[in-house]
């Protein structure tokens, strides 16, 4: 599975909408939505830093490594 993005979990814990996070971080709704749904291929450290600052969390609260199941 690889890297899982738990942005929606942190947003729910902070009771923050995508619109509110978008305004506070300075990213477009579409870019945040791509990140939130796990469709992003990369994230800039400056973006991750801004999200962590607004959500008052650590990068590990947003990004998680999940090992792939071996068959």
Summarize pLDDT for 1-57 with one digit per residue, the tens. Answer: 689 999 999 999 999 999 999 999 999 999 999 999 989 999 999 999 999 999 999
Task: Output the pTM of the full model.
Answer: 0.88
Where along the chain do its domains lie? Answer: 2-66
Q: Tell how far CA 47 is from the center of its chain.
A: 9
Task: Indicate the CATH number for domain 2-66.
Answer: 1.10.260.40
What pLDDT does 50 receive?
Answer: 97
**Sign of CA pseudo-dihedral 25, 29, 58, 8:** positive
Q: Rounded to the nearest 5°, which phi and psi values hold at 62? A: -100, -40
């Amino acid at each position: 599975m690889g890297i899982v993005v738990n942005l929606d979990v942190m947003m729910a814990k902070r009771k923050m909408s995508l619109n509110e996070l978008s305004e506070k971080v300075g990213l477009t709704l579409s870019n945040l939505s791509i990140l939130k749904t796990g469709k992003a291929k990369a994230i800039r450290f400056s973006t991750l830093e801004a999200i962590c600052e607004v959500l008052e969390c650590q990068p590990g609260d947003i990004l998680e490594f999940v090992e792939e199941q071996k068959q």
